[in-house]
Structure 1
Amino acid sequence: MTRRPRLVTVAHGTRKSGGNEVARQITLAAGLALGVEAVCSYVELSDPLFEDVVAADVTPTVVVPLLLSTGFHLRQDLPRMASAAAGPLVLGRPLGPHRLVAQAQLEQLARVGARPGDGRLVLVAAGSSDPLATRDLTRAAELLGRSWGSAVEVATLSALGRRPAEVVRAGDVVSPYLLSPGFFADRARDESLAAGAAVIADVIGPHPLVVDLVVQRAHALESVRQTA
């Protein structure tokens, strides 16, 4: 019987242990659901690094990036690191934009008392210099807006796009388009509050819907590997 490939996830990485723990929890839950070995790795700032994980084991591997948009890491860093793999490897696409991510955001908004129709909603993302990331953020806002019932504005904390100070108005509701706590999550909260936001949801975190999406992506990648 052919051995099923292991799951390797790759998150950005942060110096805040709580942020890295989110990636570990998602990976553990997805591995249990799939019934396979699951390893969490990072692009930078935390161990184990993705490149080291794939270079150290010949086991066939499917890689699910725990990233929410296209960007430099996904289009440049991860393919370069994956080229060092010791065994067969299939690299997947980012988690977002996706309806399950949008639903997880909506549930995080509900946790802080925000409901569709409560007011103007702003999605705040880390930002990227890659124009394809801007496309992804526009789509993420569209998906969230379908459930919210009105158009969702987008603000970014770096690179391309408008900053929270330019987008957030007094009384607005803010949904961070961030998976984990860390530097950008702190900035999203601080800058949104400074701009007058009334309600700010928590980051998406190790939400069960995110785990479901990782499982879906792993299944799809396994099918790709089998037919390659």
Structure 2
Amino acid sequence: MTAHLMNRNSSSRRGTRRPAPPALVLVGHGSRDPRALSTVRTLMERIRELRPGLPVHLGHIELNEPLLPDTLAALGTGDAVLVPLLLSRGHHVKRDIPEVAAASSAHVRIAGPLGPHPLLVETLYERLVEAGWRTPDAVERRTSAVVLAAAGSRDPDAAVDTRHTARLLANRLGVPVVPAYASAATPTVTDAVRALTARGRPRIAVASYFTAPGRFATQCTAAAPGLAAAPLGSHPTMARLALHRYDQAMATPTSSQHTLAATA
């Protein structure tokens, strides 16, 4: 009799056990710079610390393993939310990631890119402060500016998103912020610095609008006339933002609908 009650209670507990939440799959671009993979792995650990019990995986678009198709294949027919570690809309967000998701047997939702979002702006600000930025006084404000260095894309929506982030950062800093790009778009960081200097703003810092160290981030830092911030990297706020995008995608009724470029 006792054994029967124990089995029944055990079955009851099993019956009320909550199912595991859909996995969060971080989608990195991939880089030949080994610091990029190390940074993303640290970010994964921060996400796990913030939300214990949430399965967190990693898949890359190119250059690094695991590649996204392999990560999804390992999930089988399970549920997953893809969170791109990308800062704006562009070809990877609109084409590459959805195509991989469509070919997978997993049940996939796709979150929007990380940016633009106020949490990114706070991370950019804190990275600038870490690099030595201090709030300019009234006199310095008239001669100060920031270049927001981004990867660049031929997709016009990517430029729209980057300009949005630049405006938010300008409001946060109280000085002009000019977007500049490492490839596929203009101006370059060098051209932006030259233009700002010609406008009487020689006190220029470069904010690194990259999710991890890599060739483009290094290239933009080398073009800085002085102070240059580190990439966004594994800053704790980035982990919060990745979870925010995951939650947004989970709240979206249609699994094929993208949660694109939200700002809240």
TM bin, normalised by shorter chain, reads over 0.9
- Give the Å deviation of 1:225: 6.1
Instruction: Look up the match of 2:206.
Output: 174
Percentage identity across paired residues of the two chains: 31
Gaps (5+ residues) in structure 2? 1-17, 257-264
| TM-score, structure 2 normalization | 0.80
- What TM-score do you get using the length of structure 1 for normalisation? 0.92
2:50 pairs with one of 33, 51, 67: 33
Q: What is aligned with 1:69?
A: 88
Partner of 1:16: 33
AA at the equivalent of 1:85: S
CA distance in 1: counterparts of 2:113 and 2:156, whole angstroms: 15
What residue number does 1:152 align with? 177
Alpha-carbon distance, 1:227 to partner: 8.6
Q: Deviations over 1:204-225 (max 9, x none)?
A: 1101111111111112222336
In structure 1, list runs of 5 or more residues that go unmatched.
Answer: none
Pairing partner for 2:252 from 210, 213, 224:
224
**Distance change (3 Å), C-alpha of 1:27 and 1:226:** farther
The alpha-carbon deviation at position 82 of structure 1 amounts to 0.9
Pick from 44, 50, 53: which aligns with 2:71?
53
Deviation at 1:129, TM superposition (A): 0.5
Tell me the distance in 1 between the aligned counterparts of 2:247 and 2:254. Answer: 11
RMSD between aligned residues: 1.7
Pick which of 86-95 and 47-56 moved more.
47-56
Give every structure 1 segment of 4 or more consecutive aligned residues whose post-TM-superposition deviation is greater than 4 Å.
225-228
Residues 145 and 64 of structure 1: CA distance in aligned 2, closer, same or farther (over 3 Å) = same
Residue in structure 1 matched with residue 116 of structure 2 by the alignment: 97
1:215 to 240, 243, 247: 243
Output the CA distance in 1 between the equivalents of 2:160 and 2:254.
31
State the aligned residue count: 224
Provide the C-alpha distance between the structure 2 equivalents of 1:26 and 1:52, rounded to a whole number of angstroms: 20
Q: Which residue of 2 aligns with 1:205?
A: 233
CA contact (8 A) 1:116 1:147 kept: no
CA distance in 1, matches of 2:134, 2:119: 17
CA drift of 1:226 comes to 8.9
| Residue identity opposite 1:207 in structure 2 | H
Distance 1:91 1:81 in 2: 11
